[in-house]
């Protein structure tokens, strides 16, 4: 497989050798160099087409598997792996273009108490509702929401200053707080979230881990101040 780069992502393409060299050593060398298939002359055009078609089919299957592996099964939004992949891309872009990048980390307030009170299935409904609400609160195609893990969610806002990030965070907080979540017994419930915000113009020596850690500190600050609020660091 060879990897070609575009301005958006890496694309792995299978390489098929078609050659007049037909002995076993040459085939072994070609395959050891990374060829997906090795076809020696003389060959049947129909068979070549079928082999290429099979390689394309396998490549598409691998891409589907890769996409599925980056989705959270419960909420159907990207998972932490999907976020890390997007974060890497946006971080590099921000360094290259010398732009700001913001991140929001949020936590459903007293989620354990909610689970203990209403049950884990209802807790799953809450997480699905929060995921939908967060996604619908974002205004630009480039904004990216993911499930960070457990009852935590994360939002990546490329080319966004602190005021813009705080505005989006407050919008998310209010939208989630206003959602009525029905229970199986016919009652209605509500939840709130605490949100930590960090904005940075990353440089070559900047740490992505430190960037996320600062947002996490802001989240804990929001919790310490009473929850259901937005706080930022720096």
Where is 52: in which H helix or E strand? helix 45-69
Residue 26: strand, helix, or coil: helix
DSSP 2: E
Contacts 24+ apart (CB under 8 A), 65-74: 72/131, 72/146, 72/147, 74/124, 74/127, 74/128, 74/147
Measure CA of the first residue to CA of the last residue in the chain; give whole Å: 44
Question: What sign does the dihedral 130-132-134-137 (CA atoms) show?
Answer: negative
| 206 closest CA partner among 194, 214, 196, 195 | 214
Determine the length of the chain.
Answer: 234
Q: Quote the CA–CA distance of 48 and 34 in Å, as a whole number.
A: 18
177 and 192 in contact (C-beta within 8 Å)? yes
Please list the active-site residues. 151
| 43 closest CA partner among 20, 74, 62, 11 | 20
Rg (CA), the chain: 24
């Amino acid at each position: 497989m060879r990897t070609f780069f575009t301005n958006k992502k890496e694309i792995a393409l299978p390489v098929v050798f078609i050659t007049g060299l037909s002995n076993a050593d040459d085939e072994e060398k070609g395959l050891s160099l990374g060829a997906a298939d090795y076809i020696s002359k003389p060959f049947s055009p129909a068979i070549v087409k079928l082999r290429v078609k099979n390689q394309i089919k396998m490549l598409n299957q691998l891409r589907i598997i890769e996409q599925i592996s980056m989705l959270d099964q419960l909420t159907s939004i990207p998972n932490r792996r999907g976020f890390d992949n997007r974060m890497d891309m946006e971080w590099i872009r921000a360094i290259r273009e010398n732009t700001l990048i913001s991140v929001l980390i949020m936590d459903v307030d007293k989620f354990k108490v909610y689970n203990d009170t209403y049950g884990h299935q209802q807790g799953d409904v809450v997480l699905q509702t929060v995921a939908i609400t967060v996604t619908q609160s974002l205004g630009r195609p480039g904004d990216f929401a993911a499930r960070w893990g457990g009852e935590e969610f994360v939002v990546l806002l490329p080319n966004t200053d602190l005021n813009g990030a705080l505005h989006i965070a407050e919008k998310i907080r209010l939208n989630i707080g206003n959602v009525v979540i029905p229970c199986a017994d016919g009652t209605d419930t509500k939840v709130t979230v605490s949100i930590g915000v960090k904005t940075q113009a990353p440089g070559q020596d900047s740490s992505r881990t430190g960037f996320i850690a600062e947002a996490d500190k802001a989240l804990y600050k929001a919790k310490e101040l009473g929850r259901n609020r937005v706080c930022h660091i720096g």
